[in-house]
Each structure stands twice: as C-alpha cells, then as structure tokens.
C-alpha cells in the first residue's frame, strides 16, 4: 500500500457511464477520497458505499470529492450506483492495474483489499487506511477527513 506523503499515481479508468476519468481530472475539483472496494452488490461493499453516501453532504461541504474503484465493469457500477442512489463516481479497474499501482491487490493477487486514501490537490497522499473487513474503520476515516477540512467557500 502506498505510504502517506508519497505522490499518488495518475491513472485513467472508465466511470459508471464509460467516460474516461483520470486522477488529475478528479483532483481538479479539489482533494479526493479515493476508496478501493472488492465488488458491487456485496453486503460489506454495499454497506460501505451507503455509509459514504450518507456522509456525502458533509464531504461536499468540506470541499472533498469521492471516487470508488473496483474491478467490475461500468454497467455493474451504473446499476450499483442507481440502486443505492450513490452521488459519487465509481471507476472500473477490470484489469486491476490501478489496484496494483496503489498496492491494494488482495492476497495472492486475488481481488482487491478494502483501502481508502485521502489525496490532496497536489496528488500527495495525506492519509491512508487498509482495514479489509472493518468497514466501520473506513467510515471513521472519512469522518476524520471531513473534520480536518474547512468548509468549502
């Protein structure tokens, strides 16, 4: 997993609509909470996404962006986003190339680890967490990121 203080690698991935999105494009709107999750529609990943959704008004007020990354295709992300009314971008890393860049590939190269990064506008990793099955730790991480920001002007 990438260390705090290191530069976040740029990437290009399709979003839930199949549009090309880069890290630099996401950061052009402000600091980013980038979270990696194993799969759409699984119990833990759905709970995590819905908790972030519920915090989203506070996240926006703090001037932060959110993007989730997992290996499913854009159509799966679109359905997941629509079913649970997720207001943030979901990115499709089907080849797990970005997961490799961020060091969050699962044990023995299988799947993805549940990891969350706070990336500032200059693409530096301010904070990071890998807590796999401890979803509540990721929610606390997001709350802490929000609390550490001034409201957007």
41-51 tens-digit pLDDT: 999 999 999 99
Range of the domain at 52: 12-147
Closest CA to 114 of 93, 100, 98, 135: 135
* Residues 15-38, mean pLDDT to the nearest whole number: 97
80-136 tens-digit pLDDT: 999 999 999 999 999 999 999 999 998 766 778 999 999 999 999 999 999 877 888
| 111 phi/psi in degrees, rounded to 5 | 60, -165
Is residue 136 situated within a structural domain? yes
Is residue 7 situated within a structural domain? no
Is residue 153 situated within a structural domain? no
Q: Give Cβ neighbours of residue 129 (< 8 Å, ≥ 6 apart).
A: 115, 116, 137, 138, 141
pTM over 0.85: yes
User: What is the reported pLDDT for 132?
Assistant: 77
Total count of residues recorded for the chain: 153
Is residue 78 situated within a structural domain? yes
* Residues 63-75, mean pLDDT to the nearest whole number: 97
Lowest-confidence pick of 20-29, 90-99, 132-141: 132-141
CB 38 within 8 A of CB 60: no
Rg of the chain taking only CA atoms, in angstroms: 14
CB 112 within 8 A of CB 105: yes
Is residue 140 situated within a structural domain? yes
Strands in 65-70's sheet, in edge-to-edge order, are 89-92, 65-70, 32-36, 115-119, 125-130
pLDDT value at 74 more than 50: yes
CA distance 76 to 3: 30
Indicate the Cα dihedral angle 141, 92, 39, 53, nearest 10°. Answer: 40
Is residue 128 situated within a structural domain? yes
pLDDT value at 153 more than 80: no
Is residue 74 situated within a structural domain? yes
Report the number of distinct structural domains present in the chain. Answer: 1
Q: Which residues are catalytic?
A: 45
Domain of residue 107, CATH code: 3.40.30.10
Is residue 1 situated within a structural domain? no
């Amino acid at each position: 997993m990438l260390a705090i203080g290191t530069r976040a690698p740029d990437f290009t991935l399709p979003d839930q609509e199949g549009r090309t999105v880069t890290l630099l494009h996401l950061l052009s709107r402000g600091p980013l909470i980038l979270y990696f999750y194993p799969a759409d529609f699984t119990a833990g990943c759905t709970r995590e996404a819905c908790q972030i959704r519920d915090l989203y008004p506070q996240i926006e007020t703090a001037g932060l962006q959110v993007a989730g990354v997992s290996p499913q295709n854009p159509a799966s992300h679109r359905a997941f986003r629509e079913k649970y009314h997720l207001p943030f971008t979901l990115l499709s890393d089907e080849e797990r190339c970005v997961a490799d860049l961020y060091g969050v590939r699962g044990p023995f190269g299988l799947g993805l680890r549940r990891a969350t990064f706070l990336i500032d506008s200059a693409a530096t990793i301010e904070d990071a967490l890998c807590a796999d099955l401890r979803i509540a730790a990721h929610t606390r991480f997001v709350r802490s990121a929000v609390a550490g920001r001034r409201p957007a002007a």
